[in-house]
Amino acid sequence: MDTEFEIIIKLLAALAIGLLIGIERGWSGRQEEEGVRVAGLRTFSLIGLLGGICAIIAVEMGVWFLAASFFSVSLMIVAGHVLEARTSGDLGTTTAFSMMLTFALSAWAALGFYNYALATAVVAIALLGMKPVLHKWLRHIEIEEIYAGIKLLIISVILLPLLPNRGFGPWEALNPYWIWLMVVLICGISFVGYFAIKHVGNRLGTLVTSVTGGLASSTAVTLSLSQFAREFPVKQLFMGGVMIASSIMFIRVLVEVAIVNPALLQSLWLPVTIMFVCVLGGGYWLWRGSSYKEADPDLHLDNPFKLTMAIKFGLLLGVIMFLSAAMLDIFGDGGIYVLSVISGLMDVDAITLSLARLSLDDLSHDVAVMGIVLASATNTIIKGFIFAFFVGLNESRKLIGLLILAVIPGLLIAFIMNI
């Protein structure tokens, strides 16, 4: 039996949830006349308090009481919504579901799950308050992109449980379940940047465009900026954009490792962070030093949720995983380093995920860190040569030199740690 103090705390938590959601709903409908709204601040507060009381009573009487209470409250909410819809013609159900959610969260809090209930209430408030922003975002997404995402998600949800979660082939290097799970992870990370470009667009200039585009694909940003730079006499602005986009790649690397093998971050974060700061600082220095800052480059990024792109990355990841196990077994640590440099010429995600996975079992953390750093450094430097291919070597020397100088400190730190 709870003490009086515990009961008071539970009721206060339930009341707080009702107040928080009620404030948002009340502010959202502040222009409506008093008595016209189905629910305002007071109603939501009372629903929260009611949910808390019902939960406390249910502890003694049984869960059936809480279920019956929720059902009764839901009937009243639905009835109120139907009457309001007939009067005003507004068919929106957001407030009605918010009231049901308030009761459920308040009951959850009164059962002792304060943190979870309050955290969920905060998320709900954020979603309710972001209605204009969310609708604006949706207007930037095309129907083909939505269908592509739905296809990939459907295939993943259906396919993942059916895939065997064990190694196949030589060295048992190929795990179908893990490979496809990583494909979904990379597509999700890339879509954040892709969605940011769709929402922000290219209207905020090279700096912001490079940051948001770098979340999706720093290589794609480099290709777009390189082609765009050919049309302008001032190249330094776009060199800065390439470096800034390249720096975002290091954030992706840390996120991927944190998901696959968090223990590896203890050794990896320092060299990667140093390279991130140096590359970002060099890019910002180029951007600030440019006399021309008004360009709005048009980035051409493919939807990362396309099934063909996902399959291609899955195949690449499978090849890199197989080669990583083979090189380690045949050539030892030196084979991993060679493969890291070669892989970095094409892609960082695949070798990062592969080495992070391999370091869970057979590969030492020091070798994995050095391999990931080598791949990241190689991929960063190659951006300068991609830029030079389109713009010209003479005009790209500053960019290539800065990229090399920016990754050297991280390489030295990783080398010292590996001794």
Q: What is the DSSP string of 196-215?
A: HHHHHTTTTHHHHHHHHHHH
Task: Please report the pLDDT score of residue 241 as a whole number.
Answer: 84
- Half-sphere exposure of residue 154: CA atoms within 13 angstroms, side-chain side: 8
Q: Is 346 exposed, middle or buried (0-12, 13-18, 19+ CB in 10 A)?
A: middle
- Cα 103 from Cα 108, distance rounded (Å): 9
Residue among 212, 267, 261, 280 at smallest CA distance from 417? 267
Residue among 131, 115, 114 at smallest CA distance from 55? 114
Q: Where are the domains of the chain?
A: 4-129, 137-418
Q: What is the dihedral of CA 93, 94, 100, 105, to 10 degrees?
A: 160
Q: What is the pLDDT of residues 302-355, one digit of tens each?
A: 666 667 777 887 888 888 888 888 888 888 888 899 999 998 888 888 889 989
Q: What is the pLDDT of residues 141-177, one digit of tens each?
A: 666 666 666 766 776 777 777 787 777 767 667 778 7
Long-range CB contacts (within 8 A, 24+) of 128-137: 128/21, 128/24, 128/25, 128/28, 128/94, 128/98, 129/24, 129/28, 136/199, 137/195, 137/198, 137/199
Residue among 126, 188, 366, 403 at smallest CA distance from 276? 403
Task: Please report the pLDDT score of residue 406 as a whole number.
Answer: 93
Whether the CA torsion 70, 72, 76, 78 is positive or negative: it is positive
Encoded amino acid at 214, one letter: G
More confident residue, 342 or 88: 342
- Cα 255 from Cα 161, distance rounded (Å): 24
Average pLDDT over every residue of 293-300: 56
Q: Of the segments 80-94, 209-223, 258-272, which one has the largest average pLDDT value?
A: 258-272
- Cα 100 from Cα 95, distance rounded (Å): 9
Token couple for 121: 């209430």
Query: Could you tell me the pTM of the whole model?
Result: 0.68
Give CA angle at 299 (386, 146), nearest 5°.
Answer: 125
Is residue 364 predicted with pLDDT exceeding 80?
yes
